Structure 1
């Protein structure tokens, strides 16, 4: 498996927000922090951010190939930084070529640390989605989990199989609570707003997917992300696959109370995100569709914004910016 580790400087020419048409313009008066400088020509999406014991920020992403067909994707990457401006590239961490049970659809990953190991949980699949005649579709996706002694891999699929074959599932979010119990949340056919406990060895699940109480509001969704702050648990998601919204609870399995929007949609484009605290500052990672040096029009690129909480634990709405977190080193610098 090819391995790349390259330090990338922060100089990067970026365009502003676009939708589904060829268009770009530069904001010469603002410091360009978005999209994140993960490497020239490298298209990334679905950023899953974690801070490990070495004190670095790690962002695990899917990898959009140039002009790919219908999200046919083949591998996963990671990026690490101490200042959120200069990033080191690690990858591919894992490829569908390394899997015996899937050959495509290397979509949104997540990661976790437990038992002295790093875990990469990922969706992958087979077949073809027929958008004209859906009854002819053969596409299937499942959730895999791979292990490594390093946060940057290489990762190995130790069970040589998906965690389950039914229901069809993708967009895994792996949350480990303070007591060490790992919970897996997914976007799955007829099983959204479900959770399943992971076994202690992280190589299987305990029991079946369990439907959570969402307080009576269950819009179409994908890409769940769960985190804890203080005594509050947060279930966040792209509502209707576009608007980042969230619920709160006192338990990782609910019942949940819907709290509203974090970030609005952008030109009817999908979004996928993660939320993590780094050096005392909370950060939202997400992706944007930008027309940057592409023959195919807008492509997905990872971005980041600061995130703030109200005194009652609710999240303040966020606006997309070109600046992003480019001033992070100054912002968190001790007085």
Structure 2
């Protein structure tokens, strides 16, 4: 009897220890680093890579200086590969290292990033000098370091950030982004080397519904394309199409907003399971006492018709099944 009790207690201890090793929210990157805007990809080695922006504690008005990449083969234990690119490496921008993306083609990794200059005057907008553009950096490794490949932005008008660089099955690249001055719902068809835009921007047919948005994310599942976004910069919603350039059909909600705060995301399949990566504004030991952004994750499920089931934020994250 005593031996049996000892075995039970040992089993319980293993269960408790295993719970401490599960992928709970926010994701544990091994330090107190503040991260946001996660772009998830699975490359040929089978690992999950997250490309993120990097918040500095109590930073002024999203003044951000570099980008990080994290990798994992189990979604529990993560390696921080450090800053893979910084605005200090750029000749054309010195600030606003915001939401990035990455793509792979022909043996190279293409880091697509927004950066800018100037200052945004929120009190007197007419005095603002802020500008942002989208650059491309290239590396032989998914973890960099990346080097600015064109020495400038892909274009200067319109003002642009939040790129999503999607490579279709035929190798054609498409760049989706948030455009200033109401110039959203555009897609740029990329040249074969992914270092320039081919032709004019394509204005996509969104089925008559074009709300305020930022942070688009496009992916393909089967023969369907998905265009997801933080609608009104808050709630995550999506469209579906038979083509990467539309026309798109609005499908509605993926995730509700929280604390009236922005939410950038990505959706990727890892080992047969679809995952939604996103960020939350959470309490920290910050000196300024503000909520700070941290990357989180949830499982994402599809209905038989390809539509996405609503995702709820949890503390358990990927530790639940």
Match of 1:71 among 62, 70, 77: 62
Is 1:317 the equivalent of 2:310?
yes
Task: State the match for 1:6 in structure 2.
Answer: none
Match of 2:281 among 285, 289, 303: 289
Alignment RMSD (CA, Å): 1.4
Match of 1:239 among 231, 244, 269: 231
1:97 is paired with a residue whose SS is helix
> Is the 8 Å Cα contact of residues 30 and 323 (structure 1) preserved in structure 2?
no
> Is the 8 Å Cα contact of residues 32 and 322 (structure 1) preserved in structure 2?
no
2:315 is paired with a residue whose SS is coil
Aligned equivalents of 1:180 and 1:211: distance in 2?
Answer: 21
> Is the 8 Å Cα contact of residues 31 and 322 (structure 1) preserved in structure 2?
no
Task: State the match for 2:114 in structure 1.
Answer: 123
> Is the 8 Å Cα contact of residues 23 and 318 (structure 2) preserved in structure 1?
no
Alignment of 1:1-335 (within 5 A): 33-189=24-180, 190-296=182-288, 297-326=290-319
- Higher Cα Rg, which structure: 2
> Is the 8 Å Cα contact of residues 138 and 147 (structure 2) preserved in structure 1?
yes
Task: State the match for 2:8 in structure 1.
Answer: none
* Count of residue pairs brought into register by the alignment: 301
Aligned equivalents of 2:134 and 2:45: distance in 1?
Answer: 28
> Is the 8 Å Cα contact of residues 84 and 326 (structure 1) preserved in structure 2?
no
CA distances 1:132-159 after superposition (whole Å, capped 9, x unpaired): 0000000000000000000000000021
Deviation at 1:30, TM superposition (A): 12
1:206 is paired with a residue whose SS is coil
What TM-score results when the alignment is normalised by the length of structure 1?
Answer: 0.88
Aligned equivalents of 2:210 and 2:253: distance in 1?
Answer: 14
What TM-score results when the alignment is normalised by the length of structure 2?
Answer: 0.92
1:205 is paired with a residue whose SS is coil
Aligned equivalents of 1:185 and 1:225: distance in 2?
Answer: 8
Aligned equivalents of 1:88 and 1:187: distance in 2?
Answer: 30
Deviation at 1:209, TM superposition (A): 1.4
- Where does the alignment leave 5 or more consecutive residues of structure 2 unmatched? 1-18
Deviation at 1:298, TM superposition (A): 0.4
> Is the 8 Å Cα contact of residues 30 and 322 (structure 1) preserved in structure 2?
no
Task: State the match for 1:17 in structure 2.
Answer: none
Q: Judging changes above 3 Å, is the alpha-carbon distance between structure 1 residues 29 and 62 closer, same or farther for their aligned structure 2 residues?
A: closer
Aligned equivalents of 1:292 and 1:325: distance in 2?
Answer: 21
Aligned equivalents of 2:301 and 2:172: distance in 1?
Answer: 27
Q: Judging changes above 3 Å, is the alpha-carbon distance between structure 1 residues 264 and 91 closer, same or farther for their aligned structure 2 residues?
A: same
Which of structure 1's runs of 4+ aligned residues deviate more than 6 A?
28-32
1:207 is paired with a residue whose SS is coil
Aligned equivalents of 2:258 and 2:176: distance in 1?
Answer: 25
2:153 is paired with a residue whose SS is coil
Pick the structure with more helix per residue: 2
CA distances 1:172-217 after superposition (whole Å, capped 9, x unpaired): 0010000000000000012211101111111111012111000000
User: Which moved further from structure 2: 274-283 or 294-303?
Assistant: 294-303
Aligned equivalents of 1:29 and 1:35: distance in 2?
Answer: 13
Aligned equivalents of 1:317 and 1:212: distance in 2?
Answer: 25
